[in-house]
């Protein structure tokens, strides 16, 4: 199982400068390789005898010319340019397989990162050894035991982080308590409502800090391009964006940890978040909640604990279906939070009823499963081992 632990680094000025140079080298190499890929691909259209571009060919080409054309690349680790080209190769593989869009050029300030292979760095306690730099202090020790696979050093606002991927044989957390199955209904007013009746409000950090965010954005737009004052204003805005993201991420980690720790089977909806963001009245509130991130965390944390997540069909009428008798309403507006079933007369809270229907669907799908294939209108989410971010050390507040 591959797990990743993101640890904040504590570099001095010399080390931070090295990180910036290595990230700039990786960014330049990625953009150079993408431009070369495009030119070689266009040349192949006119001359079929030419070889199509590939990751390996671009790496060989860079190694043959970098000492003459880009000698400053030798001042940082060799992994910075080489891994950037390998990442471009994977980006094109995903594009041709239909899993991603066409690769875009990386930008300074947004894509400040570089990757190291396991033979190029060493972790010892609360420090990490970077090639051509030496030991750099870390804010905490590596949580997972196993074979270290790789590390990615990235800058977020004014802080540098190392995401260390470890191949471990044992799950990093104990099994779930197995309190049965639970349905999780996601919403804007309440981030998540469980079939048990529990409701968890989202932090809504963006709405709380929106006035300050607008003020800093206006201040940045008024600064002269290339001035030091603009750089200061840009950093302040980046810090605020990072703070909003951290508040949201911490809340989602606490909630997903609480749910997966207690329940073995979890039923959620397969929401079309991209389509929901097309509603200009609710787009900001939906984006502020982080629906897909919560689903992603539930999936890999449930896999860690031996549980499973079942996704209801996107068109499953969880809110309009009576959880008691199965009566289905024809219409149910978003402003209706409580309704009475015409069939059995039961009074329903909209969110709790939807969560209950999701739990019932998950239970029935699990019971009717045969040979690992889930029947019905729900499907089991099979999570392959993949690098994931780990929640903070703060105590879980939910549950």
Nearest-angstrom CA–CA distance, 111 and 227: 21
pLDDT band at residue 330 using 50, 70 and 90 as cut-offs: confident
Enter the tokens of residue 366.
Answer: 């699990």
Q: Domain spans of the chain?
A: 2-167, 181-200+257-380
Q: Is the pLDDT of residue 71 over 70?
A: yes
Residue with tokens 């079309």: 272
Mean pLDDT of the chain: 88
pLDDT reading at 335 higher than 90 = no
Tokens of residue 40, six digits: 């070689």
Q: What percent of the chain has pLDDT over 90?
A: 59
Long-range contacts of 197-205 (CB under 8 A, 24+ apart): 197/352, 199/351, 200/255, 200/398, 202/248, 202/251, 202/288, 202/289, 202/290, 203/247, 203/248, 203/250, 203/251, 204/285, 204/288, 204/289, 205/243, 205/244, 205/247, 205/248, 205/288
> What is the DSSP pairing of strand 122-124 with strand 113-117?
unpaired
The reported pLDDT for the residue numbered 345 is 83
Tokens of 190: 């309440």
Q: Is the pTM of this model over 0.85?
A: no
Give 352-396 pLDDT, tens digit per residue. 999 999 998 888 877 665 444 443 455 555 544 444 444 444 444
Residues annotated as part of the active site? 185, 269, 351
pLDDT attached to residue 369: 54
Distance, CA of 134 to CA of 132 (rounded, Å) = 6
Q: How far apart are the first and last CA of the chain?
A: 27
The pLDDT value given to residue 384: 47
Average pLDDT for 212-220: 96
**Is the pLDDT at 263 greater than 80, yes or no?**
yes
């Amino acid at each position: 199982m591959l797990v990743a632990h993101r640890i904040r680094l504590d570099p001095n000025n010399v080390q931070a400068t090295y990180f910036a140079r290595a990230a700039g080298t990786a960014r330049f190499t990625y953009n150079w390789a993408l431009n070369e890929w495009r030119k070689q691909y266009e040349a192949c259209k006119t001359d079929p005898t030419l070889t199509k571009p590939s990751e390996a060919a671009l790496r060989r080409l860079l190694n043959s010319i970098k000492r003459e054309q880009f000698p400053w690349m030798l001042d940082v680790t060799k992994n910075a340019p080489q891994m950037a080209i390998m990442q471009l190769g994977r980006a094109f593989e995903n594009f041709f397989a239909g899993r991603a869009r066409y690769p875009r050029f990386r930008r300074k300030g947004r894509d400040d990162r570089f990757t190291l292979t396991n033979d190029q760095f060493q972790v010892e306690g609360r420090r990490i050894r970077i090639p051509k730099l030496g030991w750099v202090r870390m804010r905490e020790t590596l949580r997972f035991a196993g074979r270290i696979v790789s590390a990615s050093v990235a800058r977020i606002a004014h802080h540098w982080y190392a995401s260390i991927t470890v191949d471990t044989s044992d799950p990093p957390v104990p099994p779930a308590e197995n309190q049965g199955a639970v349905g999780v209904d996601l919403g804007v007013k309440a981030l998540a409502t469980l079939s048990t009746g529990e409701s968890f409000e989202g932090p809504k950090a963006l709405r709380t800090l929106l006035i300050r965010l607008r003020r800093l954005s206006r201040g940045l737009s008024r600064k002269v391009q290339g001035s030091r004052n603009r750089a200061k204003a840009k950093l302040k805005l980046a810090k605020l964006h990072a703070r909003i993201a951290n508040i949201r991420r911490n809340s989602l980690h606490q909630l997903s940890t609480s749910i997966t720790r207690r329940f073995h089977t979890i039923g959620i909806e397969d929401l079309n978040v991209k389509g929901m963001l097309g509603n200009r009245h609710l787009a900001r509130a939906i984006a502020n909640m982080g629906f897909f991130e919560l689903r992603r965390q539930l999936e890999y944390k449930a896999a860690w604990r031996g549980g499973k997540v079942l996704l209801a069909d996107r068109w499953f009428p969880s809110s309009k279906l009576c959880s008691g008798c199965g009566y289905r309403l024809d219409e149910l507006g978003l402003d209706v939070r409580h309704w009475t079933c015409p069939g059995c007369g039961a009074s329903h809270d909209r969110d709790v009823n939807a969560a209950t229907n999701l739990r019932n669907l998950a239970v029935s799908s699990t019971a009717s499963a045969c040979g690992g294939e889930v029947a019905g209108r729900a499907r089991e989410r099979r999570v392959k081992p993949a690098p994931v971010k780990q929640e903070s050390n703060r105590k879980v507040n939910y549950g």
